[in-house]
Structure 1
């Protein structure tokens, strides 16, 4: 069983998405605001060197913010795609493991059988208490021998 959190509950993933959208929004605002101001000043004939040259730099900065936000959203999409692929691969491998393991192990809910050791006579076989199997153990072709050392000492006295 994997302990990876779901991607929709991942805080860094949502910070990436929200930050990318905020960066795109801020870039669009700077780009549109500065280019609109610069265009209006140029068309009115009142533009100064600061309006024209600094306005261009602000426009480039806004474009960079929009590009960085778009890159962040693409990265979030790539992370989601990789996570979906890993989840599917984990589920497939878990399905493969569980499909074959049922034939090779003894379940804890299966009734436990105990074999009587060969050195104990048939009349004393009822003195040995049976102990149930409490965990998954690999099945083997030989039966499991359960002996209680206290009971065998009492039978020899």
Structure 2
């Protein structure tokens, strides 16, 4: 029997999805944080070389992380689609029609049932008397 495990139950699939989401989140944080710091210090006139030149590199790294995360999410979507197509369509179960035939028998008079009478159980613990021995001939 072939292995038909679902992609949704696969741990590497969820690691890919989780890692991609973390990469996108980290990239957005780096990009927004560094660009905000650069814009505010340049507007104030208090910008230093570290904030401007190093901030650009950090912003580029954030953009790269966003791109890698989006590629990972696209790959996870592709794997999910391929997994559902590869599993194939399971045939549906069709119930067969069953012909019901009712048998009607004429009523016949049944013989009377004999009653069975049981003897009452003795309330004494004495063993039953043995039958007298018959003489041998």
Q: Same fold (TM over 0.5)?
A: yes
SS, match of residue 23 in structure 1: helix
Matched with 1:59 is: 59
Q: Flag the structure with more relative contact order, 1 or 2, with Cα contacts below 8 A and sequence separation at least 6.
A: 2
Deviation at 1:4, TM superposition (A): 2.9
| Runs of 4+ residues deviating >6 angstroms | none
Runs of 5+ in structure 1 lacking a partner?
A: 96-157
The answer to whether the Cα contact below 8 Å between 2:16 and 2:72 also exists between their aligned partners in 1 is: yes
Matched with 1:47 is: 47
Matched with 1:72 is: 72
Q: Distance in 2 between matches of 1:38 and 1:24?
A: 21
> How does the TM-score come out when normalised to structure 1?
0.55
Q: Count residues in correspondence.
A: 91
SS, match of residue 46 in structure 2: coil
SS, match of residue 19 in structure 1: helix
Deviation at 1:3, TM superposition (A): 1.8
Runs of 5+ in structure 2 lacking a partner?
A: 92-137
- Larger Rg, first or second structure (1 or 2): 2
RMSD between aligned residues? 1.3
The equivalences for 1:95-114 within 5 A come to none
